[in-house]
């Protein structure tokens, strides 16, 4: 069987795997059953736009956020159903009453918007305004940009360390490790079993964690050319350049996942080390879930 490029995402008690033709979400319910849901890829991923370097990275960035939020929401529903304390809020009930099936799409897009807004506030707005107070001490634009980038990365690492202490997030990180191990197992050509997947590392160069780190590093380089005369003006220019940063980062990750060169290994190393925080060793039951998700996208049938 010809190997295809696959990627994935950890869910709540599950794993989402994505291939060229479709994606599959596998979730282990509280009774132990593994439920798999398959979907085709979006039409835009089959368009000519998706073949244009950098632009495809911009599209993939926003598309992956939408898919990711939808997948997380799907996995969470299994545990909301089993929770007698869970009750939909008035706004959620109103949306379902007025919009029907479209309510889920509205909630997904709103969640993506909210996630982007929070990320921009924490990792773009706050560092810029804080470092802006130093421009009377340090007048060099490159020095200020270096301080801003360092603060941004430290805040990101600190955020990961804090959330990793939460029990629920630790479980998600274990499924993240399972996702990577199973993808490695598939790429090696070995039979997809927990025993075979167990021997592989949880660190993968095409991981979203590495992508985010590349986004930060490339943004430091590009944003160093922006002046510090006005923090508002600086933020507006950074927002305009953000899609370009995402596009370039996507191309680097794409090459890093295939290349064996020393240069790419060196560039990938910081991201791999950061994955030591976002991935944990999974158990066999978690590997089984990741395997079910991957097997589902490798089988072409009428469900896709």
Is 150's pLDDT higher than 60?
Answer: yes
The lowest-confidence range among 14-23, 86-95, 259-268 is: 86-95
Helix (H) or strand (E) holding 72: helix 55-81
Helix (H) or strand (E) holding 28: strand 22-28
Please tell me the predicted confidence (pLDDT) of residue 88. 54
The lowest-confidence range among 99-108, 123-132, 260-269 is: 99-108
The lowest-confidence range among 4-13, 35-44, 214-223, 292-301 is: 292-301
Q: Which residue has the higher pLDDT, 87 or 191?
A: 191
Tens-digit pLDDT profile for residues 78-88: 886 555 444 55
* pLDDT classification of 5: cutoffs 50, 70, 90: confident
Please tell me the predicted confidence (pLDDT) of residue 80. 67
Is 224's pLDDT higher than 60?
Answer: yes
* pLDDT classification of 303: cutoffs 50, 70, 90: very low
Map tokens 């244009």 to a residue. Answer: 52
Q: Which two tokens stand for residue 118?
A: 């929070």
Tens-digit pLDDT profile for residues 166-190: 999 999 999 999 999 999 999 999 9
Q: Is 68 helix (H, G, I), strand (E, B) or coil?
A: helix
Please tell me the predicted confidence (pLDDT) of residue 107. 66
Report the distance separating Cα 189 and Cα 200, nearest Å: 12
Is 302's pLDDT higher than 70?
Answer: no
* pLDDT classification of 200: cutoffs 50, 70, 90: very high
Please tell me the predicted confidence (pLDDT) of residue 113. 84
Is 100's pLDDT higher than 80?
Answer: no
Report the distance separating Cα 304 and Cα 301, nearest Å: 6
Please tell me the predicted confidence (pLDDT) of residue 110. 78
DSSP one-letter code for 123: I
């Amino acid at each position: 069987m010809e190997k295809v490029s696959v990627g994935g995402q950890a869910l709540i008690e599950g794993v989402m795997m994505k291939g060229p033709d479709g994606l599959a979400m596998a979730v282990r319910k509280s009774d132990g059953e593994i439920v798999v849901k398959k979907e085709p890829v979006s039409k835009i991923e089959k368009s000519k736009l998706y073949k244009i370097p950098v632009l495809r990275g911009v599209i993939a960035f926003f598309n992956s956020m939408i898919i990711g939020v939808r997948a997380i929401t799907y996995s969470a529903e299994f545990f909301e159903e089993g929770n007698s304390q869970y009750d939909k809020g008035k706004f959620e009930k109103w949306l379902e009453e007025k919009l029907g099936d479209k309510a889920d799409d509205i909630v997904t897009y709103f969640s993506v918007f909210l996630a982007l807004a929070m990320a921009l506030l924490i990792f773009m707005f706050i560092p810029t305004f804080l470092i802006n107070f130093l421009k009377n001490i340090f007048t060099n634009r490159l020095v200020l940009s270096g301080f801003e980038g360092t603060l941004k990365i430290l805040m990101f690492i600190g955020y990961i360390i804090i959330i990793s202490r939460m029990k629920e997030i630790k479980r998600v990180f274990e499924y993240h490790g399972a996702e990577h191990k199973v993808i490695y197992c598939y790429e090696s050509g070995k039979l997809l079993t927990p025993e075979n997947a167990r021997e592989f590392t949880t660190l993968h160069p095409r991981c979203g964690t590495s992508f985010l780190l590349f986004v930060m590093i490339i943004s430091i380089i590009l944003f160093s050319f922006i002046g510090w005369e006005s923090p508002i003006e600086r933020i507006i220019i950074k927002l305009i350049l953000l899609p370009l940063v995402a596009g370039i980062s996507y191309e680097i990750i794409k090459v890093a996942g295939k290349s064996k060169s020393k240069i790419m290994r060196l560039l990938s190393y910081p991201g791999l080390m950061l994955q030591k925080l976002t991935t944990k060793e999974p158990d066999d039951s978690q590997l089984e879930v990741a395997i079910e998700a991957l097997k589902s996208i490798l089988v072409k049938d009428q469900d896709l």
